[in-house]
Chains A and B, each alone.
Chain A
Amino acid sequence: MVSTSRSEVPLPQLMHRYCCGDERAFYELYDALAPALLHYLIGLARDRARAEDLLQTTFLKLHTHRDVYVAGADPTPWVYAIAKRAFIDDHRRRGTARRFLARAGGDDTSADLTGAPADAGAAAPDPDLVSRAVAALATLPRSQRDAVRLTKLEGLSIDDAARAAHTTPGAIKQRVHRGYQKLRAVLGAAE
């Protein structure tokens, strides 16, 4: 049986129109799939806010991978597979960030993140400072936050981070620099 949208248009037909560049078809597809998908993601993530972020990530991935679609096929299981992948990737990223914060030793990346001078021999940073740094990170514009996250939390080189963010190494350096400036300003104002 072929799944249908709320407007009773079969999903394969919507997906076909979407691949052909019909903007309205995307929104109809979103309306048809998003409610159940959000429910599924809440079940996986056990956190509504995180599930809503994952929903957006899933549809962004669907958008960039829409050339994978096979004419006439039901897109529903594929979209759920993309959602599961998005959850797994997010889960791993969070694990990396948690390990980084738990490690939080004297490595210079944590010092950079908190805005304090790098000092490899220093004792473990103040947990309160680390949590404020993470909160400050959330206030950055997305491009700068991603640049800081990729280079400092996930430990990618500038070149690898540029590839991951689909931009140039120069742009990544600039975003990291501006991100640091804002982090320092936010953390400095909070003290």
Chain B
Amino acid sequence: MNRVPPPSGALRDAVASMQPVAQRHPVRRWLAAVAASLAVAAAAVAALGTRRDLGELPGSWLAAFSMLWLLGIEALLGAAMIPRPGAVLPNARRAGAAGLVFGAVAAGLLAAFAIAAPGSTIAPAGAANVVRYALPCIATGLGAAALPAALALWLTRKTAPVHPGWLAAGVGAAAGAVGSLVLHLHCPIANADHLALAHGGVPMLAAAVAALAVRFRTRS
């Protein structure tokens, strides 16, 4: 059997001078992150304005995709912040994978169920227009995702000693869903390719940006 060295002097000193600390409440943190995300989404839609074809689109379609993004925000933040019962840490790889799967599925659903209101919805044709109209939407979506991502990353700090990039991807995808929700209620462009690329792509892009940022930070 290995003989175990006693705690070092530095460790003994640290323990001798310790103060009581509050234990983490993951559900409270999750609620705070969800509430902040919804507040940011509401503020962004209020600032940018609602889409001009809002009144002409089927209410069920608007509600269904709004619910999809809301569900994404809650479920992905839950996967990244709430550990299974009896565990201290969330499953970082599962959170990241869930974020990427959610982004891909949401983009596919948007492309499959694209709906336009003739006369009000913008539907520019041509490949060049796809990129031209996508870039501002992606920038807006990522902008709306920045604050929720920063807050959720701060709330999940120290909870992924290993695979921090995966956890950040999950958090980033959840924040990206905030951006997509804002675009869903603001942007009147309704081509299937625009919806899939610009609106559906924001969670994937936000996941990649968050994962790279955290990996860079943990390596530097």
Contact = CB atoms under 8 A, between A and B. Distances in A.
Contact of A42 (B2, B23, B87): B2
B21 A66 contact: yes
A74 B86 contact: yes
Contacts of B2: 35, 38-39, 42
B64 interface: no
Contact of A71 (B1, B15, B18, B23): B23
Contacts of A81: 89, 161-162
Interface of B is mostly: loop
B158 A68 contact: yes
A60 B7 CA distance: 9
Given A84-B161, A88-B162, A68 B14 contact: no
B180 to A, nearest CB: 30
Contacts of A23: 15-16, 18
Interface residues of B, number: 30
Interface string B130-153: 000000000000000000000000
17 contacts: A19-B22, A35-B2, A38-B2, A38-B4, A55-B5, A56-B8, A60-B10, A68-B88, A68-B158, A69-B23, A69-B24, A70-B26, A70-B87, A71-B23, A73-B88, A78-B88, A84-B161
Interface of A: 2, 16, 19-21, 23, 26-27, 30, 34-35, 38-39, 42, 52, 55-56, 59-61, 63-75, 77-78, 81-82, 84-85, 88, 92, 142
